[in-house]
């Protein structure tokens, strides 16, 4: 056991402060990663605020981790010291259930072992707002040359959260895709869907970010505050991916789909939703959900993003500014992801 510098919330809803946390010794198949950058995901704020249930404190958030391998265990074969690697939302799984064997470790029957705040052993786990982390080599990802570590960090959550449903529902040439919400998740959705060859429309509350949408690869940007949007775009899309965590008027959004179209939610409203099932029955439409991606698919996403030059649009901050950054995320004041320079510890 060794201790490393970290930024932690000492109690629910409390500002983060400098501390140290334990990291396990480097085991047979472990890699020690010197973290260079950690993205700030909106879910980090939900976790600190216990919006998703009780959690242990002090809490070190961070599941968008990019760094360099600093040490390897004797049994490690995939990585060597100096390799560029990332860690996402989970660091282990049972490795033997049907989902794990199918590369769907995020849906492990025994529960994936989250990067933080609690591992599958029930013990506190500390995330990426820290100088170092120890993970099993099978749950680390290779960050290809050709993409900066800072720009790559948000891909480990935001990137895969959008890549996986876009691939699963076959966004590509000849398909019309709408991305709802242009934030940390949505901006990666626009970039990836465009690179996959789909025609992309952004549905945002206002026209404020229209220029950004077009620059990121969308061909259209519409305001959801304008009822005319839903009338004009009715029946237009093969796939709508919602990245927002507000409860949407789902009947209106389902009406945007073509026959056999799918509305996928990657944002998670805290409250139950209601909808008229005729919105699904008419047009044989589907309402679906999606959560990050498995290890193999996350690697595929990183390789795809590197090949197409798709990093996240980021604002890099020193670790001392993390509380200010949390406030700005809540205010929607970031284009489009804060990334902590963890070398500033």
Minimum distance, C-beta of residue 337 to Zn ion, in the bound complex (Å): 10
> Of the candidates 9, 36, 43, 160, which one interacts with Zn ion according to CB under 5 A?
43
> Of the candidates 38, 157, 301, 317, which one interacts with Zn ion according to CB under 5 A?
157
Minimum distance, C-beta of residue 98 to Zn ion, in the bound complex (Å): 8
> Is 153 near Zn ion (CB under 5 A)?
no
> Of the candidates 14, 68, 97, 316, which one interacts with Zn ion according to CB under 5 A?
97
Minimum distance, C-beta of residue 185 to Zn ion, in the bound complex (Å): 8
> Is 185 near Zn ion (CB under 5 A)?
no
> Is 41 near Zn ion (CB under 5 A)?
yes
> Is 100 near Zn ion (CB under 5 A)?
yes
Residues 6+ apart with CB under 8 A from 221: 201, 202, 204, 207, 209, 210, 213, 214
φ, ψ for residue 221, nearest 5 deg: -145, 120
Q: Work out the number of other CB atoms within 10 angstroms of the CB of residue 37.
A: 25
> Of the candidates 55, 70, 94, 291, which one interacts with Zn ion according to CB under 5 A?
94
> Is 87 near Zn ion (CB under 5 A)?
no
Q: Give buried/exposed letters for 294-316 (b at 16+ CB in 10 A, else e).
A: bbebbbbbbbbbbeeebbbbbbe
Residue 13 to residues 203, 216, 267, 335, 342: CA-CA distances in angstroms?
31, 34, 21, 24, 22
> Is 291 near Zn ion (CB under 5 A)?
no
Specify the stretch interacting with Zn ion by CB under 5 A; choose among 40-48, 74-82, 162-170, 261-269. 40-48
User: Closer CB to Zn ion, residue 93 or residue 243?
Assistant: 93
Minimum distance, C-beta of residue 261 to Zn ion, in the bound complex (Å): 26
**How would you list the strands of the sheet with 199-204, edge to edge?**
220-223, 199-204, 176-180, 237-242, 257-265, 286-289
Q: At what angle do helices 184-195 and 158-168 cross, to 10 degrees?
A: 40
> Is 290 near Zn ion (CB under 5 A)?
no
Minimum distance, C-beta of residue 43 to Zn ion, in the bound complex (Å): 4
Specify the stretch interacting with Zn ion by CB under 5 A; choose among 96-104, 229-237, 240-248, 251-259. 96-104
Specify the stretch interacting with Zn ion by CB under 5 A; choose among 67-75, 90-98, 171-179, 205-213. 90-98
Contacts 24+ apart (CB under 8 A), 316-320: 316/37, 316/150, 316/340, 316/341, 317/341, 318/344, 319/7, 319/18, 319/129, 319/344, 319/345, 320/344
Minimum distance, C-beta of residue 1 to Zn ion, in the bound complex (Å): 27
- CA–CA gap between residue 276 and residue 37 (Å, rounded): 44
User: Closer CB to Zn ion, residue 59 or residue 256?
Assistant: 59
The residues of the shown chain that bind Zn ion, judged by CB under 5 A, are 41, 43, 93-94, 97, 100, 108, 157
């Amino acid at each position: 056991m060794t201790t490393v510098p970290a930024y932690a919330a000492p109690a629910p809803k409390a500002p983060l402060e400098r501390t140290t946390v334990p990291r396990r010794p480097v085991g047979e198949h472990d890699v020690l990663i010197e973290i260079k950058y950690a993205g700030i995901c909106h879910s980090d704020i939900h976790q600190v605020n216990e919006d998703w249930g009780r959690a242990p404190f002090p809490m070190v958030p961070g599941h968008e981790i990019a760094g360099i391998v600093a040490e390897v265990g004797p049994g490690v074969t995939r990585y060597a010291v100096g390799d560029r690697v990332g860690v996402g939302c989970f660091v282990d799984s049972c490795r033997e259930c049907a989902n794990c064997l199918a590369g769907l470790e995020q849906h492990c029957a025994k529960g994936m072992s989250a990067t933080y705040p609690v591992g599958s052993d029930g013990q506190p786990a500390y995330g990426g707002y820290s100088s170092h982390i120890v993970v099993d080599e099978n749950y680390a990802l290779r960050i290809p040359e050709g993409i900066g570590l800072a720009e790559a960090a948000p891909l480990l959550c935001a990137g895969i959260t959008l890549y996986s449903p876009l691939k699963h529902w076959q966004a590509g040439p000849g398909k019309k895709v709408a991305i709802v919400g242009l934030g940390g998740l949505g901006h990666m959705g626009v970039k990836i869907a465009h690179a996959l060859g789909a025609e992309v429309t952004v549905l945002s509350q206002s026209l404020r970010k229209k220029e950004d949408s077009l620059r990121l690869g969308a061909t259209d940007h519409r305001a959801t505050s304008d009822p005319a949007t839903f009338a004009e775009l009715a029946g237009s899309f093969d796939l709508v991916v919602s990245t927002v965590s507000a409860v949407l008027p789902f009947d209106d959004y389902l009406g945007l789909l073509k026959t056999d179209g799918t509305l996928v939610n990657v944002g998670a409203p805290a409250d139950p939703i209601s909808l008229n099932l005729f919105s699904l029955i008419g047009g044989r439409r589907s309402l679906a959900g999606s959560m990050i991606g498995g290890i193999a698919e996350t690697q595929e996403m990183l390789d795809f993003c590197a090949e197409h030059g798709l990093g996240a649009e980021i604002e890099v901050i020193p670790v001392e500014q993390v509380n200010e950054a949390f406030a700005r995320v809540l205010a929607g004041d970031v284009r489009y992801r804060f990334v902590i320079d963890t070398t500033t510890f």
